[in-house]
Amino acid sequence: MKKSILALSACAVLANSSFAGGDLSLELAEQLKALKAQVEMLEKKLNEQSKQQTANVDEARIEKIEKKLDLVDKTATVAKVQSSGNTIKWDVDYRTSVDNIQYKRKDMPDAKNNALLTNRLLLGMGYAPNDNTIFKGKLSYNKAFGDTANHSQSNTNPGYANFDWLTNENATDNTIKLKEAYWLYKSNTLAGADIPWTVSVGRRPSTDGLPINLRNNQPANSPLSHVVDVEFDGFSAKFDTEKLIGLKGSWFKICGGRGLTNAKPRFSLDGTDYSNDDTKNANIDMLGFIAAPYDDGQYSVHINYAHAWNLIGFTYNQLGAYQSAMTTASTPSAMMDAYSNLSFNDLGDMDFATILLKSQGIGNGISDYLDDTTIFASFAVSKTSPNSSSDPMNSGMLGSLDSETGTSIWLGINAPCPISPDSARVGIEWNKGSKYWRSMTYGEDTYAGSKIATRGQAWELYRNQQLTKALSFGLSYVYMDYDYTGSNSFFGAEGTPYAIGGTQANTMNAVESAQDVRAYMRYKF
């Protein structure tokens, strides 16, 4: 309104000035010039005020919108936690396989199964409510097709298929079992120092470690599978030491666990539930460490040491009584009774150690094929410490009252398949174990016995083919040529290393060699 009045006033002045002349015209022109300047200044102020008012309105509006967006974001976060963030994430690993298993025995008919059909299902689960705490678990189902004679597939009375060290690697009944369950806490600093670390307790991911994971076509678990590939419950604490000691990719992990407890069962007749039972075997415990002194992503060194207490086995007296009972047993029931009379004894302790060298890629830029090829070499040692005793018939480890040392070598290569390098991998591995070699590898995923435990030589060839994102196909051949008996035994007289071909081994109808040809289809997502 003010702007319009000023404009009209200016027009009136101009109109009047047109009828004037002389000095009056000059004076009016000066007045008009001054008035024009005033009008321009007033318009400028009015524009500035208008912009300021508009700006104030926009800022207030924007602030209000931002508050609403912040509220919506908080609401969305809560909704996310309640819906997906609070839900366990599942993964599936389902394998159907057929195994051709052959055992060769001297002066005895071969034992075999031309087509052992099995289904194995692993249900993995995980939950991470924040960056520091994680839960991991895995359920397992492993069963041969169909039932077995006398419903004996569970192999539990008597038998060791449900033994806690390997219950998920054996084809038993159709029950779902717990393979892994543990919580993990991690942090980027330790007591203010720049040392990332983790601690974990529970049912351990202690099978399929390096390097057995390569032929199993999956990421490596812990510990190193050359000495320990067995299920157990325990703890671990890992520390990244690269910045502390200056060696690239280095880390150190302390591990411990319990493989057997002698606690009494619930509702004990003497009313002392879960107290120690001195009439049973002592607790079997294991403690050790795993370390990677160097790992630059291509070349790496891995070390594992463990000490196990109170390991179990049978004595010579027990085995003698069993063999005598079997020779006189006239019915399957009598044979079963003789077998069930065997009982474990605490025989002593044992040390396990291994060092593994791995190269993930051969050379540097020689060829794409060599860049994608992995090779490894592993050397392991086992050493017994029998309990002190002067009675060789009721004590000793691996058939000896003395401390015995065994060694094993494991070499392998895993490379792209030359026929289809983008979707398939092939591998070859060789194992060589000495007379007194004894590994804790009862959980190895095989049906003809642990090749890692072989006292003699073992060869394996395999090929894994990725068909789709989730579906894969595999073929493998394992051959174990035994030099001594007892490769897949426990730690007592049953583990005595008799030379294959010798009188004692022949009397035992010992297995001279074994092989397993496997084909499988695997669905994993």
Looking at the structure, tell me whether residues 376 and 333 fall in a common domain: yes
Q: 413 with 443, same domain?
A: yes
Q: Please check whether residues 320 and 260 belong to one and the same domain.
A: yes
The pLDDT of residue 9 is 46
Q: Is residue 130 part of a domain?
A: no
The verdict on residue 133 lying in a domain is no
216-244 in b/e form (b: 16+ CB < 10 A) is: bbeebbbbbbbbbbbbbbbbbbbbbbbee
Task: Give 458's strand partners.
Answer: 431, 480
CB neighbour class for 82 (10 Å; exposed up to 12, middle 13-18, buried from 19): exposed
Domain assignment of residue 132, yes or no: no
HEC secondary structure over 347-368: EEEEEEEEEEEEEECCCCCCCH
Per the domain annotation, does 83 fall within a domain? no
- The answer as to whether 465 is a domain residue is yes
- The tally of domains found in the chain comes to 2
Q: 401 in a domain, yes or no?
A: yes
State how far the Cα of 337 lies from the Cα of 105, in Å rounded to an integer.
26
Residue 434 has φ and ψ, to the nearest 5°, of -85, -175
Residue 400 φ/ψ region, left for φ over 0, alpha for ψ in the -120 to 50 degree band, beta for the rest: beta
φ, ψ at 379 (rounded to 5°): -125, 130
Same domain, 38 and 100: no
pLDDT for position 15: 44
Pair of tokens at residue 430? 């060789």
Give residue 12's Cα distance to chain centre: 94
The CATH number of whichever domain residue 225 belongs to comes to 2.40.160.10
DSSP secondary structure string for all residues of 17-76: HTT--HHHHHHHHHHHHHHHHHHHHHHHHHHHHHHHHHHHHHHHHHHHHHHHHHHHHHHH
- Residues whose CB is less than 8 angstroms from the CB of residue 175 and which lie 6 or more positions away in sequence, other chains included: 141
What was the pLDDT predicted at 430? 98
Q: Do 412 and 313 reside in the same domain of the chain?
A: yes
Range of the domain at 358: 88-125+138-270+283-524
- Residue at 427 is within a domain: yes
**Shared domain check, 65 and 116:** no
Residue of 449, 446, 514, 476 lying closest to 112 (CA atoms)? 514
Q: Are residues 38 and 113 in the same domain?
A: no
Residue 463 in domain? yes
For 146-160, what is each residue's pLDDT tens digit?
A: 866 655 555 555 566
Query: Do residues 185 and 102 share a domain?
Result: yes
Co-location of 67 and 98 in the same domain: no
Q: Say if residue 108 is in the same domain as residue 59.
A: no
Given a cut of 70, the residues of the chain with pLDDT beneath it are 1-32, 35, 39, 49-65, 67-69, 71-86, 147-162, 332, 335
pLDDT digits (tens, 9 = 90+) for 237-273: 999 999 999 999 999 999 999 998 989 888 888 889 9
The pTM (predicted TM-score) of the whole model is: 0.81
Q: 146 and 18, same structural domain?
A: no
> Which structure tokens are listed for 57?
């309105």
> Same domain for 335 and 405?
yes
The label of the residue with tokens 């068909």 reads 467
